[in-house]
Amino acid sequence: MAKSPEGKARQAEAMRRYWASLSNETRIRIGGRISQSLTGKVQSEAHLRANSEGHRGKVLSEGTRRKLSDSLILAYAEGRKQPVRSSHRRGARHTEEAKAKIREARARQVMWNKGVKTGPMPREVVEKRAASQRGKPHAITQAVLAGRVRMIEKKRGRKATEETKRKQSESQRKTYQQGRTVPFSSGYGKGAYYASPCQGQIWLRSSSEIQRAQELDAAKEVWLYEIEAYPLMMDGKRTTYRPDFWILPQVARGVSLQDPVAFLHRLPKTDVLLEDVKGWWSPSHKTYPKIMAFQAQYPELNFQIVVRKGIRKHGQ
């Protein structure tokens, strides 16, 4: 049987009198037990809805407003920009005593890397790790792949709204104004696993790369995918560039490559053709500066950019 508003008010007043009669130690003990019992519990939708409905339309009393105002006044008087209840302590300042305690505690701590040799890993360790991962599929879990399939199935058959069509039209118009002949999304991000003759199952990141791999297999070429990165300097900073395909025209198809990196290092540079596959290519492409720097810093390499509508040699 539901209680009347007068009964609820009497019960609340009795609880307030009981709580005021308790000592501070008892309040802390009871509050700790309540907090422990509620930790990890999730309120049901019905409970949340009931709480929301119960507080809807309520007006704060003058006493509550006065307490909130006093809390804000105290916060700003102490130099804080947020009230006492702020969980982030934004704007709060430590006292000199607190700062001294923090310094003493930090001085007694031993850093995790004290006495530990740091720096680049030895070359043999790097090669051992690379050999253990070489030829394995890209680390995309089955859950992620299943999520992509569910997303595709969910979007299948949907029709774009007029607002979406307008945004797509503006994006494509901007694309052509910048001198590119295909929209932003052409061929990018639509990757898939591919059975490589030399590296086994590998992940190709775009439909353009998949098409190029199929062309190389049809031509019975021996090729490797993203096998090594070249160090670069751009704007005074160190970076790397990793071409997409390493094509070996002088190597007979069917050769067993147990260690592709070591095999490449034994080959003359003139016997290796490097390729980067693009769905579109112009100075506005985000990788254009890096590829130009790569060509300038490694002029001895045989490198070309393969575009979906043709092949562009260096300088074209």
What is the mean predicted confidence (pLDDT) over 2-18? 80
**pLDDT value of residue 187:** 43
* 8 A C-beta contact, residue 290 and residue 261: no
**CA end-to-end span of the chain:** 86
Across 73-77, 151-155, 217-221, least confident range: 73-77
Across 80-84, 102-106, 134-138, least confident range: 80-84
> Where is pLDDT greater, at 143 or 216?
216
What is the mean predicted confidence (pLDDT) over 251-269? 74
What is the mean predicted confidence (pLDDT) over 91-120? 84
- For the domain with range 184-313, which CATH number is right: 3.40.430.10, 3.40.1350.10, 1.10.132.20, 3.30.300.30? 3.40.1350.10
* 8 A C-beta contact, residue 298 and residue 232: no
Token output for 186: 């052409």
What is the mean predicted confidence (pLDDT) over 117-144? 75
Q: Which sign does the torsion angle of CA 298, 300, 306, 312 carry?
A: positive
- How far apart, in Å, are the Cα atoms of 48 and each of 12, 56, 169, 208, 241? 21, 12, 43, 51, 53
**pLDDT value of residue 242:** 92
**pLDDT value of residue 292:** 93
Nearest to 279 by CA among 215, 194, 183, 176: 183
Alpha helices in 2-122 (DSSP H): 5-21, 24-38, 45-55, 62-77, 96-108
Q: Is 218 helix (H, G, I), strand (E, B) or coil?
A: helix
**pLDDT value of residue 186:** 45
Distance CA 121, CA 39 (A): 44
Residue 315 has pLDDT above 60, yes or no: no
pTM greater than 0.85 (yes/no):
no
Residue 183 has pLDDT above 60, yes or no: no
Nearest to 263 by CA among 131, 171, 95, 140: 131
Token output for 240: 């790397």
What is the mean predicted confidence (pLDDT) over 215-223? 88
Distance CA 298, CA 290 (A): 12
Distance CA 52, CA 300 (A): 71
Distance CA 316, CA 122 (A): 41
What is the mean predicted confidence (pLDDT) over 105-122? 81
Tokens 């599929």 sit at which residue? 137
Q: Note the maximum CA span of the chain.
A: 95
**pLDDT value of residue 244:** 92
Token output for 237: 């900073």
Residue 298 buriedness (CB in 10 A; 0-12 / 13-18 / 19+): middle
- Angle made by CA atoms 248, 251, 256, in degrees to the nearest 5: 105
- Domain ranges (residues) in the chain: 184-313
Torsion of CA 279, 284, 288, 293, to 10 degrees: 170
Residue type for position 96: E
Residue 130 buriedness (CB in 10 A; 0-12 / 13-18 / 19+): middle
**Mean pLDDT computed over every residue of the chain:** 79
What is the mean predicted confidence (pLDDT) over 264-282? 85
* 8 A C-beta contact, residue 262 and residue 227: no
Give tens-digit pLDDT for 228-246.
889 999 888 899 999 999 9
Q: How many CA atoms lie within 13 A of 182 on its CB side?
A: 15
Across 51-65, 125-139, 202-216, least confident range: 125-139
Identify the band that residue 305 occupies on the pLDDT scale cut at 50, 70 and 90: very high
Across 15-29, 176-190, 287-301, least confident range: 176-190
**pLDDT value of residue 184:** 43
Distance CA 283, CA 179 (A): 9
Residues of the chain with pLDDT > 90, as a percent, come to 12
